Amino acid sequence: MLADWLLLLRPRQWTKNLVVFAGLLFTGRFSQFHAFTVTLAAFAVFCLLSSAGYLVNDAIDAEQDRKHPAKCRRPIAARRIRPGAAIGMAMVLAGLALGAAGMLGRLLLFVALAYLAVTLTYSLYWKHQVILDLLAIAGGFLLRALAGTVVLGVVTSSWLFVCVFLLALLLGLGKRRHELFMLEGKASSHRPVLQEYGRPFLDQGLAMTSASAIVTYAVYAISSPTAAAHSWLVFTVPLVMYAILRYLYLVFHRDLGGSPEELFLKDRPLYLTIALWALSVVYIFTSHH
């Protein structure tokens, strides 16, 4: 039973909440103990909220998940945990998260409430709407990034938020493409909105979004106020370009992308590039170039 609950909470997907640390990273305050601890607390808040969202989503999608080759093994779909129990646990987790967010600050509480609203409405409505489902996913990442700034009481570049939004949209498109590949003719029976998508549309969306993300980050690293204060930030642009191209390679040539968080952890060139990018940003912001 404990193992089933852990599966429902999906701790592996908490890596998505690392976006919360973007504010800490791009303000150069990661060496300040208070800034790090409040950001870590905000990260924990969003881990609880995201797990609550997964519980609700799995309870709602149990019937559709039974038609999926992998998701049919999820505890609710496999009838090992009742949907009502999952909903009850989701309410407990959401209550704890919102209580902690309120203690960290009113603005963080507002962002947490907005994220919870997006997550719940996604499970109930947005995921059934073509294109809007992808924008809702990207909006969730944007709220994570915003949480990391409001908890610190700082304002970061709008270019950075656009980068986060575009990268999240890119992951969403890759996930939809992988679902079409995995489910083939049964895609619409598992997720009805998939019948509105097709490979040509998703492939064009991936190309457009990846190009936009690279250009946006390049503009941020070259001509933003942050770049003016840290001129060496431009040298991180090739790392971002490689990481995005590597992701596209995995999506197009290996038909991966269904679980981005696992992809980032299992593909050595990808996670080493991301680690090198993060270390480079830390060095640049601490050395005041």
How far is CA 86 from each of CA 83, 94, 120, 170, rounded to the nearest angstrom? Answer: 5, 12, 14, 30
Residue 179 has pLDDT above 90, yes or no: no
Domain extent listing, the chain: 1-156, 157-289
Give the Cα separation of 61 and 124 in Å (integer). Answer: 10
In which region does residue 82 sit, left (phi positive, over 0), alpha (psi from -120 to 50) or beta (all else)? beta
Closest residue by Cα to residue 74 from 93, 89, 88, 60: 60
The H or E element that residue 256 is part of is none
Query: What letter would DSSP give residue 74?
Result: S
CB atoms within 10 A of CB 245: 13
Residue 289 has pLDDT above 60, yes or no: no
Q: What is the pLDDT of residues 53-88, one digit of tens each?
A: 999 988 888 877 777 767 777 788 878 889 899 999
How far is CA 196 from each of CA 46, 64, 169, rounded to the nearest angstrom? Answer: 31, 17, 17
Task: Give mean pLDDT, residues 121-133.
Answer: 91
Q: Which two tokens stand for residue 281?
A: 């940003």
pLDDT (0 to 100) of residue 259: 74
Task: Give mean pLDDT, residues 167-179.
Answer: 90
Task: Give mean pLDDT, residues 174-190.
Answer: 73
Q: What is the pLDDT of residues 91-107, one digit of tens each?
A: 999 999 999 999 999 99
Q: Which CATH superfamily is domain 1-156 in?
A: UbiA prenyltransferase (1.10.357.140)
The residue with tokens 């575009």 is: 166
pLDDT (0 to 100) of residue 184: 67
Buried b (16+ CB within 10 A) or exposed e, 189-202: ebbebbeebeeeeb
